[in-house]
């Protein structure tokens, strides 16, 4: 694809980098932009189309960069704007697009906007955040809850009002009902696009607006609660978040955002955090060609393993609610337990799920270390950094276990990540799965990921084609991909053997380098975690 192709994002494989943990270039134990630049060859060789870098903006780091205090600068711990420019240039030289994480729903309480806003009720930034009067008894204005636990309102003595925070109290929510706020955020996007960025991952895209009347959220019956957004121990799961997010005003803002993207042929993928309406919201936000191109749903980030039945049900729901939506699927990211551990996968199972991901309609996000088959790291309480985990320990251990440093070599305790003390300890079990240990091993997990990404790239139908005929028979899922060729894909998502009927017609086996089984009979035998890939002749 050319640099100017406006549809470069469709079917792309996007590699997520958590900058604190990718590569440290100066020995302070924290990853940085120069470190990322030095390791971009690994991502290019893997076969990814783009990188997504989690926040590196100026921040007090209460939520590790998701609390921004300057949208248009680099935090010194990560480097400088010149370092970022060098990263973009090197990525583009390697044929990689660059996406960065924009956090537009909330800022840091150290942002100059908030410092001014909280001074009084009449200053130029007075309306830039969501402020509200207390109830007559002094309690918060409504029953909204924070994703990180407790009320979503914090009292401020200076203004004698509450401010909204859907996350930490140090992350006040911006008031996007106020047009100057929208313009300031759009200007921040333009700033990075003009520096060569190819797109954005939009954090908590459905939290941008809150109900202007601040109505109470209704309760959610216990039988409907799940822990896809927040851990079970968090009362956030006790509400239908009808008014604290998912507001209709967001659609017009996303149209404005798309208008900023279009001149740059840039793309955006929105993170939709909603346990009840995720696919419906994805449909709203990606429909019509005038909002974001992709959304990042949570259906495959669930605690429970993706089964054949769940896969079919997910695509059936998407067909019913969002037939034209473009999802960006992921099994792992910086907020959830790594899927190898979360789902209890053997190497054989992990390999099958990898190929499945590459065969689904949509784009794909891979999380750093996923290509090595890394399990969730075991982080002791005394080493925890994540405020979320510290709050809910031990029932929920937080997100540090998936954020430990990338392992490049096996012959030192930090895995080649740093010459100093890493900000989070490296799990000793990871060292044997380092890039160096796997790099030249033909049957390694890393080699398997390289083959899987090359297979997707070699078959354009997997990137942009239609998907139909999806069905499940027991633990075996099957579907067709249609475009410039027709492919048959079947996956046994269980350790016990299964079988699947080959569709009528003449078929030839493909994907042998991935481990695809022969398709020389009408009934295909699939060993445990086996899969069949075939092309219609």
Residue 284 bears catalytic tag: no
Q: What is the pLDDT of residue 1?
A: 36
pLDDT at 165 over 80: yes
Residue with tokens 């959220």: 217
pLDDT at 498 over 80: yes
Q: What is the pLDDT of residue 146?
A: 96
pLDDT tier at 389, thresholds 50, 70, 90: confident
Cα 479 to chain center, whole Å? 25
pLDDT at 326 over 90: yes
Q: Which two tokens stand for residue 1?
A: 């694809």
Nearest to 97 by CA among 263, 261, 265: 265
150 is a domain residue: no
| Angstrom distance (rounded) from CA 537 to CA 535 | 6
Assess whether 248 and 382 both reside in one domain: yes
Least confident of 255-269, 375-389, 492-506: 375-389
Q: What is the pLDDT of residue 424?
A: 97
Q: What is the pLDDT of residue 71?
A: 98
Answer with the one of 456, 488, 509 that is the final residue of a domain. 456
498 is a domain residue: yes
Mean pLDDT score across all residues of the chain:
95
Q: Which two tokens stand for residue 508?
A: 């030839």
pLDDT at 292 over 70: yes
Bridge partners of 164, per DSSP, are 153
Contacts of 248 (CB under 8 A, 6+ apart): none
State the average pLDDT over residues 382-386.
90
Q: What is the CATH number of the domain that holds 189?
A: 3.20.20.80
370 is a domain residue: yes
E-only strand ranges, 126-204: 131-132, 153-156, 161-164, 199-202
Q: What is the CATH number of the domain that holds 480?
A: 2.60.40.1180
pLDDT tens track for 91-123: 999 999 999 999 999 999 999 999 999 999 999
356 is a domain residue: yes
Domain of residue 53: give its range.
13-107+179-456
Assess whether 452 and 473 both reside in one domain: no
Rg of the chain over CA atoms, in angstroms? Answer: 23
Nearest to 449 by CA among 370, 527, 377, 534: 370
Nearest to 243 by CA among 268, 259, 219, 267: 219
pLDDT tier at 451, thresholds 50, 70, 90: very high
Assess whether 267 and 411 both reside in one domain: yes
8 is a domain residue: no
Predicted TM-score (pTM) of the model is 0.96
Least confident of 5-9, 392-396, 400-404: 392-396
State the average pLDDT over residues 130-136.
98
| Angstrom distance (rounded) from CA 237 to CA 454 | 40
Active-site residue (options: 203, 386, 427, 494): 203
19 is a domain residue: yes
Least confident of 263-277, 444-458, 502-516: 263-277
Assess whether 195 and 245 both reside in one domain: yes
Assess whether 418 and 505 both reside in one domain: no
Q: What is the pLDDT of residue 2?
A: 38
State the average pLDDT over residues 381-388.
88
Assess whether 223 and 369 both reside in one domain: yes
Assess whether 424 and 281 both reside in one domain: yes
Assess whether 521 and 423 both reside in one domain: no
Contacts of 310 (CB under 8 A, 6+ apart): 299, 304
pLDDT above 70 coverage of the chain, percent: 99
Helices 179-193 and 250-261, interaxial angle, to 10°? 30
Active-site residue (options: 49, 211, 271, 376): 271
| Angstrom distance (rounded) from CA 100 to CA 197 | 7
pLDDT tier at 167, thresholds 50, 70, 90: very high
Q: Which two tokens stand for residue 25?
A: 């270039």
Could you give the number of structural domains in the chain?
A: 2
Q: What is the pLDDT of residue 487?
A: 98
Assess whether 529 and 421 both reside in one domain: no
pLDDT at 3 over 70: no
pLDDT at 211 over 50: yes
pLDDT tier at 228, thresholds 50, 70, 90: low
State the average pLDDT over residues 227-250.
87
Answer with the one of 398, 424, 456 that is the final residue of a domain. 456
pLDDT tens track for 169-181: 999 999 999 999 9
Answer with the one of 432, 456, 480 that is the final residue of a domain. 456
Q: Which two tokens stand for residue 435?
A: 């890039």
264 is a domain residue: yes
Nearest to 213 by CA among 151, 148, 144, 282: 144
Q: What is the pLDDT of residue 273?
A: 84
517 is a domain residue: yes
Assess whether 418 and 480 both reside in one domain: no
Assess whether 383 and 476 both reside in one domain: no
pLDDT tens track for 417-444: 999 999 999 999 999 999 999 987 889 9
Assess whether 485 and 445 both reside in one domain: no
| Angstrom distance (rounded) from CA 531 to CA 515 | 8
Residue 133 bears catalytic tag: no
């Amino acid at each position: 694809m050319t640099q100017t192709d406006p549809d470069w994002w469709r079917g792309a494989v996007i590699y997520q980098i958590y900058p604190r943990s990718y590569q440290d270039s100066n020995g302070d134990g924290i990853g940085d932009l120069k470190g990322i630049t030095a390791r971009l060859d690994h991502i290019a060789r893997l076969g990814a189309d783009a990188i997504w870098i989690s926040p590196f903006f100026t921040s007090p780091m209460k939520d590790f960069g998701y609390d921004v205090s300057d949208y248009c600068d680099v935090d010194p711990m990560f480097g400088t704007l010149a370092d970022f420019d060098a990263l973009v240039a090197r990525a583009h030289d390697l044929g990689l697009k660059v996406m960065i994480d924009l956090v537009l729903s909330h800022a840091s309480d150290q942002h100059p906007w908030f410092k001014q806003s909280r001074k009084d009720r009449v200053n130029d930034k007075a309306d830039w955040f969501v402020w509200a009067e207390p109830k007559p008894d002094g309690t918060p204005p409504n029953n909204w809850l924070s994703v990180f636990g407790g009320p979503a309102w914090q009292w401020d003595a200076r203004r004698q009002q509450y401010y909204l925070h859907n996350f930490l109290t140090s992350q006040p929510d911006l008031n996007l009902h106020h047009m100057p706020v929208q313009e300031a955020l759009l200007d921040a996007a333009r700033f990075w696009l003009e520096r060569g960025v190819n797109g954005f991952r939009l954090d908590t895209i459905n939290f941008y607006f809150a109900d202007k009347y601040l109505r109470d959220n209704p309760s959610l019956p216990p039988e409907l609660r799940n822990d896809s957004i927040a851990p079970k121990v968090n009362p956030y799961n006790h509400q239908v978040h009808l008014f604290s997010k998912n507001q209709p005003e967001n659609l017009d803002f996303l149209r404005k955002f798309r208008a900023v993207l279009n001149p740059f042929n840039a793309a955006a993928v929105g993170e939709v955090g909603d346990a009840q309406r995720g696919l419906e919201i994805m449909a709203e936000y990606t429909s019509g060609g005038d909002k974001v191109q992709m959304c990042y749903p949570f259906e495959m980030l669930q605690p429970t393993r993706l089964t054949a039945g769940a896969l079919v049900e997910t695509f059936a729901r998407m067909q019913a609610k969002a037939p034209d939506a473009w999802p960006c699927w992921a099994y792992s990211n910086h907020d959830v337990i790594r899927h190898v551990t979360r789902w209890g996968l053997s190497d054989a199972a992990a390999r099958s799920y990898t190929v499945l991901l590459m065969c689904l309609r949509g784009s794909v996000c891979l999380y750093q270390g996923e290509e090595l088959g890394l399990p969730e790291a075991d982080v002791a309480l005394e080493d925890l950094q994540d405020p979320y985990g510290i709050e809910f320990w031990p029932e929920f251990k937080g997100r540090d276990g998936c954020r430990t440093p990338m392992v490049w070599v096996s012959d030192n305790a930090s895995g080649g990540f740093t010459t100093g003390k890493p900000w989070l300890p490296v799990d000793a079990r990871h060292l044997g799965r380092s890039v160096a240990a796997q790099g030249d091993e033909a049957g390694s997990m890393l080699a398997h990921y390289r083959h899987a990404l090359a297979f997707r790239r070699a078959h354009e139908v997997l990137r942009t084609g239609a998907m139909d005929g999806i069905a499940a028979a027991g633990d075996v899922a099957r579907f067709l991909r249609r475009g410039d060729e027709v492919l048959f894909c079947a996956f046994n998502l269980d350790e016990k053997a299964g079988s699947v009927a080959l569709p009528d017609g003449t078929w030839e086996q493909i994907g042998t380098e991935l481990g695809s089984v022969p398709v020389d009979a009408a009934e295909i035998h699939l060993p445990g975690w086996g899969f069949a890939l075939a092309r219609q002749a």
